[in-house]
Structure formats: structure tokens, C-alpha cells
Amino acid sequence: MVMVPMENILPVIQPSQNAQANSSPSGYKVGIRRHTRQVNIGGIKVGGGAPISVQTMTKSKTDDIKGTVKQIIDAHEAGCDIVRVTVNDKEAADAMAEIVRQSPIPVVADIHFNHIFALKAVEAGVAKVRINPGNIGSKDRIRQVLTAAKDKGIPIRIGVNSGSLEEDILEKFGYPTAEALYESAMRHVGICDEFNFRDVIISVKSTDVRLMIEAYRLVAQRTDIPLHLGVTEAGLTRIGTIKSAVGIGTLLAEGIGDTIRVSLTDEPVKEVEVGKEILRSLGLATRNVELIACPTCGRLEIDLFGIMAELEKRLEGVKKPVKIAVLGCVVNGPGEASDADIGIAAGKGVGILYRKGQMIRKIKESEIVDVVVEEVRKFQPEN
């Protein structure tokens, strides 16, 4: 285990246009990144300054190959980089080779306790295995799994959860704490070190956002291991989105985190969308269409709700990195609209069209949607 002092967390500049070079749709602008070792997950680099990747997990029964592959393809189209699939029984293990063959993105096998399933997943060609070495039995079983993974160049994610800490660690600390999560993770890392296996990623998740943040900070301060960020069992979409944005976003803003997964009681696509938006909000990912609108108040003088709903529908699927702002009053409208790539400041049935800060012309309220869509069609992003 390599101990990394805080002074080693240094500024890193990774231009957003370099994202494709790392086989990821995500990309950086300028930020402060924690330096880590790097692992390769089926061509997606994680850590070592690589773009932050977005992950999700399929919700289907794994042996339903058609349904599982469909969820993977949908997630990929939404911008997912890496997908995790549970391998919880023999039927799931038998399905993995075909799922891997059909998947357009790297597949991670999620395994608990069963070393045979881990060996079958490696044989099936997965890009990573999520398993805790200390939970699969004898040293011979551990050796088999780590040797098979090392021979294939497959990394392992050590996933520690506040709800499933080892009994002796719980007895020592009394209840889940950041130090308890850290000690559990380091126990499994130590086992990997015994077998000279270093291609590991760590997660220390909790449903408690504050505990999750503190635990990840500890790992970040004390090791150079890449981190997979997430708030576990975050909940239904509204609450889960808030908890994930606070927990994941706080750590990313501090330069901590190399890959993320938003856990929602919802479809994988929704997890990806929220994850991508967290990255965009911090300037850590290239944008597609970004729609901005004022929160509205008594000064609103146009049908902003209807306009934004129609724009969202008409621009769905457009991949251009364009920022669109539609404001419905004269107080903040002109300034906000001129700050976007395409902006509208509107009131009393008319709007002013802005293009990259330049006032272009006056249009009717009824023309706003068509004009914005046409402007998006013509928009050319800067290199």
C-alpha cells in the first residue's frame, strides 16, 4: 500500500478535447485532481489523470440476456462508460460470456463471496470484477481469483459498504465510522498486496452522505488507489439524485474520485443522466445540449414552461455541446441570455435572440422554439 500525503494532491490540467483519446465520452477542463495509479477497464482508463468515467448497473435478471443487453445499450447511448452486472447464481454466470460479447461498453461482474463465479466471469471476458478478496474463503481461493485476473489484465474493485462491515471491525469501532470503512478496505487491499496484485479500485460507500464523504477523504489522503464514488442505496430518483449530487459532487469538487455511479431506484439510463449532469455541473465533462431557464416569479411574461418543455422534446438526442438559456423577464434575462451560446431574453410576447453574447434580432414569442432549434442546427462548437 502506498501512502500519499495531502501535498501530493496537485493541480492537473486535462483539456476536455482529450476525452476521446481515453476512450471515454467524459472530459475535463481545468481542475485539481488527486494523483493516483491508473487501471485499465476494458480500454477505459481510470485514475492517473484520466477522464472521470460514469457507470451504472443493470436492473434485469442477468440470465435474461436480451433484457440485460438492452439495458446496457440504452445506458451506453445515454453516455455510460462502464456497466456492472450481477453474477449471483449459476445461470447468471453462464450468461456472462454472451452479455460481454454483445455489450458496446466494458462489463464488470458484481460478485459476492463465490470465487467460482469470479473465475467464470474472468473466463467470460469481463473487464473488471467487483469482489472483496477477504470474503471468498481460503487463501487458495483468493490466489486462484487474483492469478486469473492478473493473467487477463483484469482489475478488481474492492467495494466496502457501511451496511456490511466485518463483525470484528464493527466490534472495534462500535458502529460504522469513516475509520471503520477505511480499515475494512485496507484489509482487502492488504490481501491483494500479499499476492502482488495492484490493479485495484476502492469504493467506501454509505447511505449516510457525511460518512461517505469522510471515508473517501481518508482513503484519498492515505493511498494512491483510484476511487469509485457513490452513495449506496441512495433511494428513489428525487432524493437519490440530491444525495448523490451532494456526496459525489463534494468529493469531485475537492479533486477526489476517478469513476462514479449514481445509485437510484430507477432505470440505469436515469443513473447515467444524473451522473453526467453532476460532472457537467462541475465542468468535469463535455456537454451535450444544456438548457437553462429562470426559476420564474411574478415578473414572468411568457409561457416559459411550455417553451422549455417543447425545446426539451425537440432537442432530445442532439449531441452538440451547446448552452441554451431562455429567460422570461427583463431583470436578469439579457445578462444570462448573452452568457449562453444561444440565448433568449423575453417579455410581453417578444424575445431578443443572442448568439455568443451578441444581440441578433427581435422575435415573437410564438417563434422562440423554432428559432432556437434552427440556431442549434447551425451551431458550430469551438475546437
103 and 53 within one domain: yes
Q: Per the domain annotation, does 273 fall within a domain?
A: yes
Phi, psi of 323 (to 5 degrees): -100, 120
pLDDT at 381 (0 to 100): 78
Q: Which of 281, 306, 335 is the last residue of a domain?
A: 281
129 shares its domain with 230: yes
Q: What would the mean pLDDT of 127-155 be, rounded to a whole number?
A: 94
CB 357 within 8 A of CB 345: no
Q: How does the average pLDDT of the chain come out, rounded?
A: 88
CATH number where 36 lies: 3.20.20.20
Q: Tell me what pLDDT residue 332 has.
A: 66
User: Could you read off the pLDDT of 179-199 as tens digits, one per residue?
Assistant: 999 999 999 999 999 999 999
- pLDDT at res. 5: 42
pLDDT at 310: 95
Residues 201-214: pLDDT tens digits?
Answer: 999 999 999 999 99
Based on the fold, state whether residues 311 and 171 are members of the same structural domain: no
Closest CA to 352 of 370, 368, 375: 368
Region 124-128: mean pLDDT is 98
Distance between CA atoms of residues 137 and 140, nearest Å = 8
Q: Is residue 117 part of a domain?
A: yes
Q: Is residue 83 part of a domain?
A: yes
Q: What is the pLDDT of residue 6?
A: 38
pLDDT of residue 30: 35
- Residue 383 is predicted with a pLDDT of 58
Higher-confidence residue of 234 and 15: namely: 234
pLDDT of residue 297: 84
Domain range for 266: 6-281
Residues 271 and 367 in one domain: no
Residue 239 sits in the same domain as residue 314: no
pLDDT at 24 (0 to 100): 39
CATH of the domain at 324: 3.30.413.10
Would 332 be classed as within a structural domain?
A: yes
Q: Are residues 324 and 202 in the same domain?
A: no
CA angle, corner 256, sides to 239 and 224, nearest 5? 135
pLDDT at 14 over 80: no
Residue whose grid cell is 490540467: 13
184 contacts 160 by C-beta, under 8 angstroms: yes
Cell of 193: 498486496
The reported pLDDT for the residue numbered 29 is 37
**Residue 226's pLDDT band (boundaries 50, 70, 90)?**
very high
* Residue 270 and residue 131 share a domain: yes
Domain boundary among 249, 264, 281: 281
Model pLDDT for residues 166-181, shown as the tens digit of each residue: 999 999 999 999 999 9
Report the Cα–Cα distance between both ends of the chain, in Å, rounded: 41
Instruction: Tell me which of 244, 260, 281 is where a domain ends.
Output: 281
Q: Are residues 171 and 274 in the same domain?
A: yes
Angle at 356 between CA 354 and CA 359, to 5 degrees: 30
Reply yes or no on whether the pLDDT at 301 is more than 60. yes
Residue 258 shares a structural domain with residue 305: no
Mean pLDDT of 67-84: 96
Residue 62 CA to residue 108 CA, distance in Å, equals 12
Q: With contact defined as beta carbons under 8 Å apart, do 340 and 362 qualify?
A: no
- Alpha-carbon gap, residue 310 to 307, rounded angstroms: 5
Decide: 337 and 347 in contact? Cβ < 8 Å.
Answer: no
Question: What size, in residues, is the chain?
Answer: 383
pLDDT of residue 48: 94
Q: Does residue 142 share a domain with residue 222?
A: yes
Report yes or no on 383 lying in a domain.
no
69 pLDDT higher than 90: yes
Using the predicted structure, report yes or no on whether residue 9 has a pLDDT greater than 80.
no
- Percent of the chain scoring above 90 in pLDDT: 74
pLDDT band at residue 73 under the 50/70/90 scheme: very high
C-alpha cell at 73: 445499450
Taking phi over 0 as left and psi of -120 to 50 as alpha, with beta for the rest, 257 belongs to: left
Q: How confident is the model at residue 349 (pLDDT cuts 50, 70, 90)?
A: confident
Q: Does residue 1 lie in a domain region?
A: no
**Within-domain flag for 64:** yes
H, E, C per residue of the chain? CCCCCHHHEEEEECCHHHCHHHCCCCCCCEEEEECCCCEEECCEEECCCCCCEEEEECCCCCCCHHHHHHHHHHHHHCCCCEEEEECCCHHHHHHHHHHHHHCCCCEEEECCCCHHHHHHHHHHCCCEEECCHHHCCCHHHHHHHHHHHHHHCCCEEEEEEHHHCCHHHHHHHCCCCHHHHHHHHHHHHHHHHHCCCCCEEEEEECCCHHHHHHHHHHHHHHCCCCEEECCCCCCCHHHHHHHHHHHHHHHHHCCCCCEEECCCCCCHHHHHHHHHHHHHHCCCCCCCCEEEECCCCCCCCCCHHHHHHHHHHHCCCCCCCCEEEEECCCCCHHHHHHCCCEEEEEECCEEEEEECCEEEEEEEHHHHHHHHHHHHHHCCCCC
Please check whether residues 212 and 79 belong to one and the same domain: yes
Q: Please give the tally of structural domains in the chain.
A: 2
Residues 91-106 have a mean pLDDT of 98
Do 199 and 329 fall into the same domain?
A: no
Identify whether 245 is part of a domain.
yes
On whether the pTM is more than 0.85, the answer is no
pLDDT, position 290: 86
